[in-house]
Amino acid sequence: MAMYILGSAILVLAVAIIVCVSVQQGKSQGLGAMAGGSDAADSYYSKNKGRDRDAVLSKITIVLSILIVICVVAMNIISA
């Protein structure tokens, strides 16, 4: 019974990690930054508005990863 619970928990955590990573913004600015272009909208606020959200998502991703490792170790201990 515990194997099914841990297996389900791992599945849910894996999907949650995929969602968190997919929602995070990339570090690059795209082709505009590669060409050296900048426009008037490049203010301090527009450059940093996503940092808080990305920092929270990064911490959530780390916590979910640790939980997956704990579940996998627990599953291996139970199955032994």
Which pLDDT belongs to residue 45? 60
Q: What is the pLDDT of residue 68?
A: 97
Q: What pLDDT tens digit does each residue of the chain (80 aa) get?
A: 989 999 999 999 999 999 999 998 776 555 555 555 555 556 666 666 667 888 899 999 999 999 999 999 999 999 98
Query: Could you tell me if 75 and 10 are in contact, meaning their C-beta atoms sit under 8 angstroms apart?
Result: yes
Ranges of each domain in the chain = 1-23+47-80
Which token pair is 48?
A: 């940093």
pTM of structure: 0.69
Assigned token pair, 40: 């008037």
Stretch (H or E) spanning 51: helix 51-79
Pairwise CA distance, residues 78 & 76, whole Å? 5
- Give the model's pLDDT for residue 70: 97
